[in-house]
Structure 1
Amino acid sequence: MLCKKPDDKQAAVAVLENLLARAGSNKKAAIERELHIMRAGIKGEREAAYLIDFHLKDSRKTAVLHDLRLQLDDGRVAQIDHLLIHQTYRFYVLETKHFSHGVKITDEGEFLRWNDWKKTYEGMPSPIEQNERHVLVLKKALAMMGLPEPAVESMILVAPQARIDRSKKFNSSMVIKADQFLTAYQKNLDSANVLSMISGLVRTTFSESLVDISRKLLRMHRPILVDYEAKFGMRQDHALPLPALEQGPISIEFGNTPAVTAVAPVSEPASTAVALSVETTVHACKKCRSAKLSIQYGKFGYYFKCSDCDANAPAKVACGKDGHRERLRKDGKRFYRECQDCASSSLYFVNQD
């Protein structure tokens, strides 16, 4: 069953195209590279998502979540391209890589990408190591939800037409062409079932919990915010904002179970920021009414501090629903108000200093 579709990244592409159109010669190359990487990533993820959904979107035994970004309180982040949850409580963390001209894996497990322009191999971060970090974050997130530690498989999906030069010494069996994924997935499940029966550790099925687990993970989904104007040093104080782009609802369905809908965040209405929904409240000092505020952290939590009169005031948030506990989350200079029970997250305040 399909629980989460891939996030729509066209807003980010449009932002970069807008920057490229007005960039000087000293910035064009960097923005073009960013656009190239983003488009290649979108293409690879879209192709893999299509193949996964073709076989599993109507499955009663597997939940599918695309583009799941988990962020822990300690700052660790997992950007999971595709997550599969099988009814036997086995998780599959899939990382997609789009290699235009193939990849080489050395005896030491190093990944080398072919540069067709330079006609040579270039080093790149290991997607295996990257995915292992994602697995650690996922396990921690599940533990925070009160769930037992699951069996997790890590797989790297590459385009069907990509060439893979494998080492005979390094085990790269987890690197799979996307069109061969279902065979590898089923083979892994079959092997796991045989081992479970031999060891007498057959798990009770978790089919009734697939929707619940998916819903809880969706509540922890934190789409990334990238301020491309700041990244490329092209801030415009008076630029007209692009219209906000709203992503459609995320629905969770299992068999005949009624759909559970979690509304996805709305993009920030700023010319070059891809963000969550935006808090429209204008904050002002309660003592002098100045807008020169910043959020600080003290003994009793977050509070507003006025730079004009030096007054302090608590920064309190509440979604207004009984039993719900909304909190503030800091990300650099940005603060978000979030309620796990409502599965909501919105930009609350940005420190200017």
Structure 2
Amino acid sequence: MIVKALEPQEYADPLRRAGHEAERQMAFYLKRAFGEDARKFVFHNLRLERKGEVAQLDHLVLHRYGLVVIESKSVAGQVSVNEHGEWTRWWNRQGRGMPSPVLQARRQLDLLLSLLEDHTTDLMDRSLLGLKQRTFAGVRRDVLVAISDGGRITRKTDVPELVKADQVPDRVKAIIDQEVEKPFGTFGLTEAEMTRLVAFLRARHTPAEVAPPAAAPPTPAPRAQAASAAPASVRTSQERQAQARPQPEVACRACGSANLSVQYGKYGYYLKCADCGGNTPAKPVCAACGQPARLSKSGAEFTATCPGGHRWPYWTNPA
């Protein structure tokens, strides 16, 4: 069951836009797997505050035996983990170190558990005729790091938390099955506890404050136009093309540039970067229903259509 949906976002920065695209992809997979499951509760972009600290959870699955925090990472190239547990993101044959997203997800989970423990008496039942307070000590806690389906993983040490996005639902089900198969006596949340936890997390979500838009600078006084300047109503073909082009849903996976054109190759449509020459798969995802869409071409214009019937302009190639 989807308790908190993923809010649509618009980002001018290509990297942040790619990150949100990874979250949309993950939200689609979780909806397909658990959207109609009344015993598994899914939260997207859950932001919680505790004593001045903030936990920003990309995705959270609450199940009968505990919690799974899922961190989405946009990795269109390659991510590697060496024998020392150090992470590197690769693109265009160049590597750059990155903080461990597994440790990041664990810190978010720790803060979430601390917040829940602050409210143990409100959230958990009492047992043994009301004489003993149940706690969160037995709650199972797991983290998963999901990279984009098009990314590649290289590991020189075992990192069981690191998976492709499409593998996450099966991994969550496997976690739950491990608890089901344990002998009688395994800790499990009661129906009443689950209900209280869902209501508590929904109520404690605190959206980040959005800074008000900066005031527009004062309009300068009009100046006489030089005789050699082109009239204001006349625009170059490049300017008209830039204005007509929709915002890209992805950026170049090699350099982050938005200077792209859609091309067709052996594996279907892809985006060609004019800045670095790199290729990026063209995989539009519907903002309305989260389903992957297919591209169709009409001249220089490309349109995306999803199985739900939604249709939108995807890209216009430069002239």
What's the TM-score bracket when you normalise by the shorter of the two chains?
Answer: 0.5 to 0.7
Larger Rg: 2
Q: Which runs of 4+ in 1 moved over 6 A?
A: none
Matches within 5 A, 1:55-204: 55-73=33-51, 75-88=52-65, 90-116=66-92, 119-146=93-120, 147=123, 148-149=135-136, 150-167=139-156, 170-195=157-182, 197=183, 200-204=184-188
Gapped runs of 5+ residues in structure 1? 18-34, 230-234, 240-353
TM-superposed deviation, 1:226: 4.6
Matches within 5 A, 1:327-346: none
Q: Which residue of 1 aligns with 2:211?
A: 227
CA contact (8 A) 1:61 1:207 kept: no
Q: Which has the higher contact order (CA 8 A, sep 6+)?
A: 2
Match of 2:30 among 40, 52, 55: 52
Match of 2:197 among 194, 207, 213: 213
Q: Which residue of 2 aligns with 1:236?
A: 215
Question: Secondary structure at 2:149's aligned position in 1?
Answer: coil
CA contact (8 A) 1:80 1:94 kept: yes
Question: Secondary structure at 1:60's aligned position in 2?
Answer: coil
Q: Distance in 2 between matches of 1:204 and 1:140?
A: 19
TM-superposed deviation, 1:237: 6.5
TM-superposed deviation, 1:228: 8.3
Question: Secondary structure at 1:227's aligned position in 2?
Answer: coil
Q: Which amino acid aligns with 1:236?
A: A
Q: CA offsets, 1:32-52, max 9 Å, x none?
A: xxx122101110000000001
Question: Secondary structure at 1:92's aligned position in 2?
Answer: strand
Q: CA offsets, 1:252-304, max 9 Å, x none?
A: xxxxxxxxxxxxxxxxxxxxxxxxxxxxxxxxxxxxxxxxxxxxxxxxxxxxx
TM-superposed deviation, 1:160: 1.7
TM-superposed deviation, 1:209: 3.5
TM-superposed deviation, 1:236: 3.3
When the two structures are aligned, how many residues end up with a matched partner? 204
Q: Distance in 2 between matches of 1:228 and 1:136?
A: 32
Q: Structure 1 residues 152 and 114, CA, compared in 2 at 3 Å: closer, same or farther?
A: same
**TM-score, normalization: structure 1?**
0.54
Q: Which residue of 1 aligns with 2:236?
A: none
**TM-score, normalization: structure 2?**
0.60
Tell me which moved more, 220-229 or 61-70: 220-229
Q: Which amino acid aligns with 1:137?
A: L
